[in-house]
């Protein structure tokens, strides 16, 4: 009975996790598609950039881990989430609806944190060394945004502005350390998630910036 309860709890937790991941995928697609619409791309280009924004981080991680075809291609759920998110952006842009920028920024911070810890966890599962765990966690979280900005002809915003990629790296690092200390992935992922989302939200609230070094 207790065993069954534990199993049911694990299933519920797995389902909540998948739901969060699908939601984050749709959100990242929405953000990417909005930027593509603003950049003047056509309908097809908008959908492509939306999908790229939400999926390329995880796909690149999987290619680097040698885990092909990438997870996003193995079932339609992530692709559908990306298409739906991009489609919502299209419709809202068509209707001229003002975007709830603050809400999006908060949700984006949560998506960033989720992708950072899940990417780091996957690298850890594949036996990667600590540096690679942090790099792949960060790449999972920001790779889509980098590809999006390259497609739109811009220097990737994650490399130029504010605490974004560094928050993802901090979250992945905290996850790694906690997992090494406690051997409990769930605890590590929770700690990493809180650190990444907290740093990112604080950076938005207090307008934190990392220093720039402009050399003559």
Residues that bind its own copies (CB under 8 A): 34, 36-46, 48-49, 51, 59, 63-66, 68-70, 73-76, 79-80, 83, 90, 93-94, 96, 126, 128-132, 135, 146, 150-156, 158-162, 165-166, 169, 209-216
Least gap, CB of 10 to its own copies (angstroms): 27
For its own copies, the closer CB: 93 or 194: 93
Q: Which residues touch 194 (CB under 8 Å, ≥6 apart)?
A: 113
* 8 Å CB contact between 82 and 55: yes
Least gap, CB of 116 to its own copies (angstroms): 13
- Give me the sign of the Cα torsion angle 188, 195, 116, 133: negative
Least gap, CB of 63 to its own copies (angstroms): 6
How far is 2 from 89, CA to CA, in rounded Å? 45
For its own copies, the closer CB: 79 or 194: 79
Tokens linked to 124 = 């850890």
Tokens linked to 139 = 């790449």
Least gap, CB of 70 to its own copies (angstroms): 7
Tokens linked to 206 = 């207090």
For its own copies, the closer CB: 9 or 131: 131
Q: Which residues touch 39 (CB under 8 Å, ≥6 apart)?
A: 152, 153
Least gap, CB of 74 to its own copies (angstroms): 8
For its own copies, the closer CB: 13 or 129: 129
How far is 196 from 193, CA to CA, in rounded Å? 5
For its own copies, the closer CB: 128 or 140: 128
Tokens linked to 130 = 């600590």
């Amino acid at each position: 009975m207790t065993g069954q309860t534990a199993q049911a709890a694990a299933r519920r937790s797995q389902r909540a996790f998948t739901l969060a991941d699908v939601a984050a995928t749709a959100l990242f697609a929405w953000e990417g598609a909005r930027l593509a619409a603003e950049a003047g791309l056509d309908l097809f280009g908008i959908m492509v950039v939306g999908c790229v924004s939400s999926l390329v981080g995880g796909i690149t991680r999987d290619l680097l881990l040698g885990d092909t075809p990438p997870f996003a291609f193995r079932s339609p759920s992530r692709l559908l989430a990306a298409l739906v998110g991009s489609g919502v952006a299209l419709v809202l842009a068509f209707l001229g609806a003002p975007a709830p920028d603050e809400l999006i920024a908060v949700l984006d911070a949560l998506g960033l944190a989720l992708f950072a810890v899940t990417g780091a966890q996957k690298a850890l599962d594949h036996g990667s060394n600590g540096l690679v765990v942090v790099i792949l966690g960060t790449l999972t979280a920001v790779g889509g945004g980098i590809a999006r900005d390259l497609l739109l002809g811009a220097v990737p915003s994650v490399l130029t502005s504010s605490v974004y990629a560094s928050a993802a790296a901090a979250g992945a690092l905290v996850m790694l350390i906690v997992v090494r200390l406690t051997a409990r992935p769930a605890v590590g992922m929770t700690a990493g998630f809180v650190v990444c989302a907290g740093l990112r939200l604080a950076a938005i609230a207090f307008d934190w910036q990392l220093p720039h070094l402009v050399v003559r």
